């Protein structure tokens, strides 16, 4: 997809050469500063109830007078006319794209119907919305039809906004590449997207962009003493992989940002097996790993001045003769022992060793990303990822990044009191607490392995994929993480 910006005065929108023109209308008045024929058509449609200045409303005009395009769609965004929030802009664009899907338009021009400021965030949101509307998974379904014929998108903006808009389009395209990689990996079924496949994806990124990628196998992981990660992997015939990728954008002595992604390529629950209904969705249990690879992809494109280390522990969680059993006690790389009370709480068991491994990089900050708990889905639903950290400044950075990226997260508590739940009579800790506050106790478990650096945890169980008719990976939180990393680079 080709994205460009074009400077265009509000009264000249109709003369833009394109196949389809999508004009977003901010505010609740008809004062859109449009050329006369368009203003008249809009007024007439509004008078007859075919249109209203209310978020979500659309008006489709075929071969409209005074417009070069074959078709024009007006999309009302609501809000205040003077300012247009990027989120409202994105929602209106997404609505309009839905209507244009089957039009066959190849070149789409998008603009504001009126003298409204557009910034980098709007441009970024446009790129995200277009990719979202046109993405089709083909990995194991080559027959899937294209979502639309679209191949070129122009964002029409005022001269004063051109610089910011161009920057936003550029950043948006890098993020979209990352989101695409994450979705492609996560949508791929468990028999295709194995730990070995994830490692190959990382190695391909390394080869294409010249960054260093190490892949450790079982032997190397044994040598490191990752008893907890090994315990989860031992139930599967599929070989484990421990993936470490290095992006070097600053001097070697600059402390890196470290991202750790949960890479369970299929989670049956193990001996504490999950119910059959919707178990197929546990192929998405490597969504954290996918988002780390996607963020690396975006970073390799944008080349910020910082060092980044990406760590992905990856294996399957299977039942079987060699699998861990409830009550088994294992020794983590940190030396702390863990009583595995529930083999389905496997994410924290692979992450804890990866978090200990992260210490060797003397990180400026470590963020782990994991489809960790069903409890987080109960707490926050599917809009906000769960954010856990004891570090207020770091929480603010991640919240700011999530707002800027339109990829929201919400801070959850992490008070000492919750640690009690992890007490065990047979090991330093159990791997689960009671049902209540399950997302928090999972984070408390990880916290025990992160005492030597600044750390935050993102529980993306509710946001990494969608269920139902639109079942599939969302590619989240690649936008959040990319913004966070870019902001860390200053
Ligand atoms: N991968 C799951 C978490 C999950 C569940 C993500 C549902 C998305 C939807 C994780 O490994 C898991 O099974 N967690 C258990 C923990 C429990 C045993 C304490 C859960 O949430 O049920
Ligand atoms: Mn599980
Ligand atoms: Zn899991």
Q: At residue 31, does pLDDT exceed 70?
A: no
Q: Please tell me whether residues 154 and 271 are part of one structural domain.
A: no
Q: At residue 32, does pLDDT exceed 80?
A: no
Q: Please tell me whether residues 338 and 292 are part of one structural domain.
A: yes
Q: Is residue 169 part of a domain?
A: no
Hey, whose CA ends up nearest to atom 16 of ligand 1? 345
pLDDT mean over 110-119? 92
Q: Please tell me whether residues 134 and 272 are part of one structural domain.
A: no
Q: At residue 36, does pLDDT exceed 90?
A: no
pLDDT value at residue 66: 82
Q: How far is the CA of 422 from the centre of ligand 1 (A)?
A: 17
Q: Please tell me whether residues 197 and 148 are part of one structural domain.
A: no
Q: Please tell me whether residues 325 and 410 are part of one structural domain.
A: yes
Hey, whose CA ends up nearest to atom 7 of ligand 1? 374
Q: Is residue 168 part of a domain?
A: no
Number of domains in the chain: 2
Q: Please tell me whether residues 84 and 184 are part of one structural domain.
A: no
Q: Please tell me whether residues 313 and 343 are part of one structural domain.
A: yes
Question: Where does the pLDDT of residue 385 fall: very low under 50, low under 70, confident under 90, or very high at 90 and above?
Answer: very high
Q: Domain containing 213: what range?
A: 178-489
Q: At residue 35, does pLDDT exceed 90?
A: no
Q: At residue 74, does pLDDT exceed 90?
A: yes
Q: Please tell me whether residues 17 and 99 are part of one structural domain.
A: yes
Q: How far is the CA of 262 from the centre of ligand 3 (A)?
A: 8
Mean pLDDT of the chain: 97
pTM comes to 0.98
Hey, whose CA ends up nearest to atom 9 of ligand 1? 374
Q: Is residue 164 part of a domain?
A: no
Any idea which ligand is nearest the CA of 441?
Answer: 1
Question: Where does the pLDDT of residue 128 fall: very low under 50, low under 70, confident under 90, or very high at 90 and above?
Answer: very high
Query: 421 in ligand 1 pocket by Cβ < 6 Å?
Result: no
Q: At residue 46, does pLDDT exceed 80?
A: yes
Mean pLDDT lowest among 16-30, 181-195, 258-272: 16-30
Q: Please tell me whether residues 98 and 214 are part of one structural domain.
A: no
Q: Please tell me whether residues 14 and 154 are part of one structural domain.
A: yes
Q: Is residue 52 part of a domain?
A: yes
Any idea which ligand is nearest the CA of 432?
Answer: 1
Tell me if residue 348 is catalytic. Answer: yes
Q: Spot the catalytic one: 68, 158, 218, 274.
A: 274
Find the CATH number of the domain harbouring 203: 3.40.630.10
pLDDT mean over 398-410? 98
Q: Is residue 170 part of a domain?
A: no
pLDDT, tens only, 340-366: 999 999 999 999 999 999 999 999 999
pLDDT mean over 159-184? 98
pLDDT, tens only, 200-250: 999 999 999 999 999 999 999 999 999 999 999 999 999 999 999 999 999
Q: Please tell me whether residues 469 and 396 are part of one structural domain.
A: yes
pLDDT value at residue 199: 99
Question: Where does the pLDDT of residue 30 fall: very low under 50, low under 70, confident under 90, or very high at 90 and above?
Answer: low
Q: Is residue 414 part of a domain?
A: yes
Output the 3-class SS for the chain.
CEEEEEECCHHHHHHCCCCEEEEEEECCCCCCCCCHHHHHHHHHHHHCCCCCCCCCCEEEEECCCCCCCCEEEEEEEECCCCCCCHHHHHHHHHHHHHHHHHHCCCEEEEEECCCCCCCHHHHHHHHHHHHHHHCCCCCCCCCCCCCCCCCEEEEEECHHHHHHHHHHHHHHHHHHHHHHHHHHHHHCCCCCCCHHHHHHHHHHHHHHHCCEEEEECHHHHHHHCCHHHHHHHCCCCCCCEEEEEEEECCCCCCCCEEEEECEEEEECCCCCCCCCCCHHHHHHHHHHHHHHHHHHHHHHHHCCCCEEEEEEEEEEECCCCCCCCCCEEEECCCCCEEEECCCCCCHHHHHHHHHHHHHHHCCCEEEEEECCCHHHHHHHCCCCEEEECCCHHHHHHHHHHHHHCCCCEEECCCCHHHHHHHCCCCCCEECCCCCCCHHHHHHHHHHCCCCCCCEEEEECCCCCEECHHHCEECCCCHHHHHHHHHHHHC
Tell me if residue 152 is catalytic. Answer: no
Q: Please tell me whether residues 255 and 402 are part of one structural domain.
A: yes
pLDDT, tens only, 372-383: 999 999 999 999
Any idea which ligand is nearest the CA of 278?
Answer: 1
Q: Which of 96, 127, 158 is the last residue of a domain?
A: 158
């Amino acid at each position: 997809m080709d994205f460009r910006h074009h400077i265009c005065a509000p009264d000249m929108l109709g003369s833009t050469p394109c196949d389809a023109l999508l004009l977003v209308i901010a505010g609740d008045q008809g004062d859109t500063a449009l050329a006369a024929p368009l203003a008249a058509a809009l007024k007439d449609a509004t008078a007859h109830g075919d249109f209203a200045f209310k978020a979500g409303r659309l008006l489709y005009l075929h071969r409209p007078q005074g417009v070069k395009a074959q078709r024009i769609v007006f999309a009302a965004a609501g809000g205040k006319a003077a300012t247009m929030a990027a989120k409202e802009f994105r929602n209106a664009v997404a609505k309009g794209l839905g209507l244009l899907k089957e039009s066959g338009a190849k070149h789409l021009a998008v603009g504001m119907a009126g003298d409204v400021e557009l910034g980098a965030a709007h441009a970024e949101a446009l790129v995200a919305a277009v990719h979202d509307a046109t993405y089709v998974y083909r990995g194991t379904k080559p027959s899937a039809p294209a979502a639309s014929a679209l191949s070129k998108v122009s964002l029409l903006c005022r001269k004063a906004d051109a610089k910011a808009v161009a920057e936003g389009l550029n950043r948006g395209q890098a993020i979209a590449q990352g989101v695409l990689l994450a979705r492609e990996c996560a949508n791929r079924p468990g028999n295709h997207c194995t730990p070995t496949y994830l490692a190959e994806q990382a190695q391909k990124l390394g080869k294409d962009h010249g960054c260093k990628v190490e892949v450790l196998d079982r032997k190397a992981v044994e040598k490191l003493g990752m008893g907890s990660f090994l315990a989860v992997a031992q139930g599967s015939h599929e070989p484990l992989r421990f993936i470490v990728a290095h992006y070097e954008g600053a001097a070697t002595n600059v402390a890196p940002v470290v991202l750790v992604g949960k890479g369970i390529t299929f989670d049956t629950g193990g001996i504490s097996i999950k119910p059959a209904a919707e178990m197929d969705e546990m192929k998405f249990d490597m969504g954290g790993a996918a988002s780390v690879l996607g963020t690396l992809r975006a970073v390799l494109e944008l080349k910020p001045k910082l060092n980044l280390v990406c760590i992905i522990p990856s294996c399957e969680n299977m039942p079987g003769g060699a699998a861990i059993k409830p009550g088994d006690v294992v020794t983590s790389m940190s030396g702390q022992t863990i009583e595995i009370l529930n083999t389905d709480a496997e994410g924290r068991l692979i992450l804890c060793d990866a978090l200990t491994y992260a210490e060797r990089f003397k990180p400026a900050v470590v963020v782990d990303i994991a489809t960790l708990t069903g409890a987080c889905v109960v707490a926050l639903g599917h809009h906000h990822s769960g954010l856990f950290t004891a570090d207020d400044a770091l929480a603010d950075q991640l919240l700011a990044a999530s707002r800027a990226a339109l990829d929201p997260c919400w801070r959850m508590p992490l008070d000492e009191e919750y640690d009690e739940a992890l007490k065990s009579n047979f090991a330093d800790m159990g791997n689960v607490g009671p049902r209540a506050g399950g997302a928090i106790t999972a984070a408390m478990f990880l916290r025990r392995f992160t005492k030597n650096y600044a750390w935050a945890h993102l529980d993306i169980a509710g946001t990494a994929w969608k269920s139902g008719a639109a079942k599939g990976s969302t590619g989240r939180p690649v936008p959040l993480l990319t913004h966070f990393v870019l902001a860390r680079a200053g």
